Every structure is written in C-alpha cells, then in structure tokens.
Amino acid sequence: MEPEKARGIVLRTYPYSETSCIATVFTREFGKLRALAKGAWRPKNAFDSALDLLSACQVLVLRRSSGGLDLLTEATLERRFRVGRSLAGFYGGMYLADLLDALTADADPQPEMFDAVETALNVLAADPAAADAGPAATPAVPRPVVVLAAELAMLQAGGHGPAVGRCSGCGTRLDPAARAAFGMLDGGALCPDCRRGKTNVVAISTAGTAALRAAAALAVGRSGGALPTEERVLGELRAVMNTYVAHTLGRRLKSAQHLKALAKNEHL
C-alpha cells in the first residue's frame, strides 16, 4: 500500500513513547485522522516540526482499512501557528480546533470546515492591524469576528448553522431593524408567533442582531453590513454563541470560556 498525500491542520498530539506520538490531524482530503508518527520526537526525523499544535502541513499517511491508528510516514511544514504574545489569538485558535474536533467524525472529509479554520488561523496568526479574512472582509476584521465567522461557517457546513435572517420555525423573514428572539433549541431566530411558549430563548439587541447577520454573511463570503467592533456587542454575541454551541454539542467546550473575557481586553 502506498502512502497518500493530504493537507492537514494539527489539532493535538499525545505521547506514545519517548520518541513517537499520536497526532490528530484534520485533513482536507480525508477528514480527521488519528495517526501514529513514529520517531516524531527524535532530533532527526521525517516530520520537520510539522506536528506543532495548529500547524498547517502536508502529510503522507498510510490509512488503515479497518480500525486502529493510521500511520504518518512524513510531514512537511507549510505554516506554523504563531501569535506572539497574544493570548487572545492563541485561545481563539484553540477554540476553533476544539470545535472542529467536536463537530466532525473520523475519516469524514469536510473541506468547507477545513477552509474556514485554515483561513481563520492564518488571520489570527497575523498582525491584528493587517487582519483580513478574505475578499469580503475589507477593511481589517476584528479578531473576535474572525472566530465568530469561522464558527458560523463550520456550524453551517455541519448542518447546525443558526437561522439569523428568517424565523427558524416558520421561515418568515425577520425585521432587520428589530431585536431578535434566539431559540437555543430551535435553531436560531424566532418570529413573535413562533416565540410563544418556547423555552431556552434569549433576546438579542438590535445591534447584536445586525452584527450576527453581518458575521453570518462573512462566513459564506458575502458582505452583510457593518461588522461589530464594540466590546458590548462582541460580548453579547459570544455569550449567545457559547450557549448555542453547548446546546448543539450537548456539552460546553472548555476553551470557549476564555473567549468572552479576553475579547474585553484585546482583539482576538
């Protein structure tokens, strides 16, 4: 069997022995792989420091046909994830990696999710003054919005994207200038009629509603209005998304707890 080539993002590594490790790599071609990298921690190895956390790399992998670990035979580094002294950027990257891991099954290709995370990690690792999440994101996009847009893109690709412009119950187009009721268990925004009798519903401010729609448009490469920059609005959206993701997954991601607090002091 010949090894197959793929582009990947390193989500995490675990020690296997003194010189080897098990790496969880999300690849664009094959989805999430859990693979043994023999000799990866030797001074001289075939992995070129490519298995650093959140690094983008090219890998050669022998895929197992049934059960067990795949085998990484070689990896070449494309880009390291470096945020300097930015704890906010680091936690933003870790959160996206955790969410990508939680939303996907092994060996299930999700190229749209891969592209969303790769783009976001590149922006988070860049100079905040030059942060740009793509053609639809000019001028610079605040780092909390970069995380939010990537988060929405992943949820959308996995079939869990929240409804923001139409009622998630009846499909009625919602007033863009009004506050929105957001149903955590109902898949997003609700019109007044569908809101009645629902539980686990929060009200989002007018500014927050507009910002969420703009971020959702950015997530699919469109322009949807002014992106949020105010700490109050960013904090509101982060609280809503943390709760929505927790309901979607059935658990809270530990890395999510850092995003709201850090966004108050530093752009992600």
Output the six-digit token pair for 32: 């999430």
Tell me: do 213 and 92 sit in the same domain. yes
pTM of this prediction?
0.90
Last residue of a domain, one of 79, 106, 128: 79
Tell me: do 92 and 57 sit in the same domain. no
Domain assignment present for residue 268? The answer is no
**What is the per-residue pLDDT across 175-219, written as a single tens digit (0 to 9) for each?**
988 999 999 999 999 999 999 999 999 999 999 999 999 999 999
**What is the per-residue pLDDT across 198-210, written as a single tens digit (0 to 9) for each?**
999 999 999 999 9
Please say whether the beta carbons of 170 and 191 come within 8 A: yes
Give 158: exposed, middle or buried? Use CB within 10 Å, 0-12, 13-18, 19+: middle
Output the six-digit token pair for 103: 């939303």
Tell me: do 53 and 93 sit in the same domain. no
Q: Tell me how many domains the chain contains.
A: 2
Last residue of a domain, one of 79, 103, 137: 79
Full domain range(s) for residue 189: 87-263
Task: Tell me the Cα Rg of the chain.
Answer: 20
Domain assignment present for residue 50? The answer is yes
Q: Give the total residue count for the chain.
A: 268
